[in-house]
Structure 1
């Protein structure tokens, strides 16, 4: 009996130990590559850093440029195969005492026992060459561009999250054509700025430090106001005017952009509601909608509820989407359904920065958008015959499809006159007005009407 109890006891212990190892293996293994995942990399780095001498290691962040296009053109299965292929090549170059792992997306982290910039560049070049070695047996050459951010670990006691963030920041803040970027103190200042912006965000939302500016859209046929675009400006009581290029990409990355978009939208609704109460004429206002919203299948409910709360008539709010919202093949179907739902709820939909993406015309075929906004780059040199042909072609296509067209970034009389000749419907830009505060916009609108500039 005693032997049986001991046997059962040992069996139970063995079972739980095996079970624990299995759980640990799942928790620390990347299901796609079969190698280390992000959690395992962090744990391995912390173990390594505990006995690491300063200035002996480097942490590298690798980002595959244009990976989303691989998923788009060839499908997610091909994308997954690509990630497995790249990992298999990277791991061949990892020596004893070094670490490699895939991040949670299409990126990779390496920890190399190197501290010389030249040696690191050389090793990364060899890795990139090995990754692109498949071209030797391919009829059509395709080169992967691997963007590289490197942090030279001079303080092994630094928290692993900060170490990884510094490598990631070096990659994000790279300049020029060099794919290799090393972290330096100036980047730390940028990280500090981003930390401060994230910290200030909630308080600024509550105190309404984010202000709405309106930029008019003018109908060229009769020079009347046809609408406006709502743009956000952050005017902090201590920091002053914070540049949109400092906070918009940051909030896009961390998801705060969804909260900010909703804030802008509700402010626009409140403004239109005030005009209704004052019995003033209404005009459509477009608000920007980040692709981050499409992660929530029910995100339009909040917008619809606010529309009803403020009594906004149908057709007065237009959502502007960029072409980047349509890049992911799986997301495209979702976006298509969302546009249909927008129409059912009384919203319009515009495609912003139209023409700069790889499949602009395909989007017009597949998506029921109400408006396209031609990107400003088309109007930089309108004396170019090719540019004129492209612009007039887009205008003609939009007319035949029954889609409104807005020319963005119009700053000169020459641009406006040419667009008139092409029968462009609407223009937006500094030629008529810069973005204005709501009070300035009201004065501008009243002044222009009194002077009969639009009549």
Structure 2
């Protein structure tokens, strides 16, 4: 609490204004005020020797009056107080007779403390200045809170690195200096690849520890002149304020990549991540901190789109791509909010019975009456931004409820296949979401198939978690299919380690089987291998009767493609079934 301290002259005037006070009473009142005031009150002579201190001074500084009387008041001055502060103090006393400001002092035990001080001149009976009066309030607690507030406003709470605002300020200072001294500034925008997967599979506590370790590693490769900040969840920025050779930037980039490639040991877990780096150079790539950061970010996104570790220097054409990506992300958010997505369904034919076995749900985005956004335009962006989680939940719920409704009408099983990305499947709570949808919809047991891609099996640290998720899904009666088999990694060893029910042969293998013996032989080999592993086979992309015949003879269980039907709107599915069940287009 800060007290409003009245100058002694003002206090005397107020006391004298009272009715009939005696001089003794006045002195007693003044003495009580001085003794009981929590403020430090100091009177010195003109050379700064202490003539008087009140008990408040002793309580704050730890010095008794006997220890300071006759000694210079600089006894409590901290060496950390800037000399300009005292220059301003003496100038104000000469010109105005008073000074108000803040001082950093030092207690008897060596501890520093802040005071709000008022210093004024005192005159003798002849009106000549012969003493100084200083009244000081201890404001150390306020200063402590202000420092905490500043730190929280400018530093990342997790890593204690400068945040975006502070790093942007430092970058602008570096640019201003570079302009006056005619050198370059480099900005390295560092993104941790696979970090989101760590958060989703290992939990945020492990993710936070990994970020702290990553920050420490990055600090180790920087010089004292270079600055490191954290500007996003898995994003860091490095500022090189004085660049004379591009080789220095390239060397630092290699050091950063090497540091982040080394395994991270967190308790019993050993995690592997990598990084992508975008570099911009000032003033060539931008003459403001904001522009350099945006351009370095755009260069980083160029590397990230390749899904591999590396470094890239900014080029102007990257701006357009970054703007397009941001626009797509915003449009996706709006589309999710206003339910602009639709599900279309591609029929799946059982080759043994020639009946419609089921359908595959395919998400479509209708922007207008005849304005469609293709899946390969928005699905990658949804994956990148994390919006695939919300979109995937909507697709799963809509498709399963639709299947249950059709089953009630048909009074028979009708399978529903839904595509699920690795990010969706590894997201916490995915299995619980699936269980809830199955329970709410009333879909027939064993008629939901989730289609996943081979990439989910390629991360060794995720293997045990993936196996657990797949087994829990099978425990719910959900079938699991590997979509686009053969186009990914195709490390066949995973087929025996992971619980999978169906292989879907990609259309690339089916396209030429009626004109190319090698293609037909390869397709036949995949079917035989799947059968040997007790797995079903679905062939995609069947577009003619010749392909259908070869697949039937090869032992494929099911097919889908334009020869059977193009994707249908939900309102057309039942009509298609009633007209074509048991009939194959010639």
TM range (shorter): 0.7 to 0.9
Cα distance in 2 for partners of 1:132, 1:5 equals: 53
Tell me which protein shows more strand as a share of its residues. Answer: 2
1:49–1:156 CA contact under 8 A, matched in 2: yes
Equivalent-residue separation in structure 2 for 1:441 and 1:161 (angstroms): 51
Higher percent of residues as helix: 1
Residue 30 and residue 438 in structure 1: after superposition, are their counterparts in 2 closer, same or farther (change >3 A)?
Answer: same
Structure 1 residue runs of 5 or longer lacking an equivalent are 69-75, 134-144
Report the structure number with the largest CA radius of gyration: 2
Structure 2 residue 437 is the aligned partner of structure 1 residue 309: no
Q: Identify the residue that residue 398 of structure 1 maps to in structure 2.
A: 530
Instruction: Indicate which of 501, 506, 512 corresponds to 1:370.
Output: 501
Are residue 322 (structure 1) and residue 445 (structure 2) matched?
no
Q: How far is the alpha carbon of 1:314 from its aligned partner?
A: 1.0
Take 2:362 and 2:406, find their aligned partners in 1: how far apart are those partners?
19
Paired residue for 1:260? Answer: 391
Structure 2 residue 411 is matched with structure 1 residue 411:
no
Q: In structure 2, what is the equivalent of residue 169 of structure 1?
A: 301
Change (3 A) 1:284 1:319: same
| Counterparts in 2 of 1:192 and 1:221: CA distance versus 1, 3 Å | same
Counterpart residue number, 1:430? 562
3-state DSSP of counterpart to 1:158: helix
Determine the C-alpha separation between the residues in 1 that align with 2:448 and 2:253: 48
Q: How far 1:66 moved relative to its partner? A: 9.8
Contact in 2 for aligned 1:216/1:228 (Cα 8 Å): yes
Superposition pairs for residues 134-153 of structure 1, below 5 Å?
149-152=278-281, 153=285
Give the 3 Å change call, closer, same or farther, for CA 45–169 of structure 1 in structure 2: same
**Residue 361 (1) aligns with residue 500 (2):** no
Equivalent of 1:439 in 552, 559, 571: 571
Deviates most, 325-334 or 242-251: 325-334
SS of the residue corresponding to residue 213 of structure 1 reads strand
> Within the alignment, does 1:59 sit opposite 2:182 as a pair?
no
Does the aligned pair in 1 maintain the 2:345–2:362 contact within 8 Å?
A: yes
2:286/2:292 contact within 8 Å kept:
no
Higher relative contact order (CA 8 A, sep 6+): 1
Q: Please name the residue that 1:290 is paired with.
A: 421
Contact persistence 2:342–2:366 (CA under 8 A): yes
Contact 2:512 2:519 in 1 (8 A): yes
Q: Is residue 321–residue 349 contact of structure 1 (8 Å, CA) maintained in 2?
A: yes
For the pair 1:6 / 2:137, whether they are aligned, the reply is no
For residues 244-298 of structure 1, the C-alpha deviation after alignment (integer angstroms, 9 at most, x for no partner) is 2232122212222111111111211232233244345441111122222345432
Write the mapping of 1:134-213 to structure 2, written as runs, cut at 5 A.
149-152=278-281, 153-158=285-290, 162-163=294-295, 165-172=297-304, 180=312, 182-184=314-316, 187-213=318-344
Counterparts of 2:251 and 2:218, CA distance in 1: 14
- Answer whether contact 1:351 1:369 (CA < 8 A) is retained: yes
In 2, the alpha carbon distance for the partners of 1:225 and 1:260 equals: 27
| Structure 2 unmatched ranges of 5 or more | 1-54, 64-105, 114-139, 197-205, 259-273
- Structure 1's 384 and 126: CA in aligned 2 closer, same or farther, altered over 3 A? farther
Q: 2:403 aligns with which of 247, 267, 272?
A: 272
Query: The residue matched to 1:434 in structure 2 has which SS?
Result: coil
User: How many pairs are equivalent?
Assistant: 427
1:401 CA displacement: 2.1
Q: CA deviation at 1:212?
A: 0.3
Separation of aligned partners in 2, 1:95 and 1:387? 61
3-state DSSP of counterpart to 1:361 = coil
Distance 2:381 2:342 in 1: 18
Tell me, yes or no, if structure 1 residue 49 matches structure 2 residue 177.
no
- 3-state SS, counterpart of residue 278 of structure 1: helix
> What's the TM-score, normalizing by structure 2?
0.58
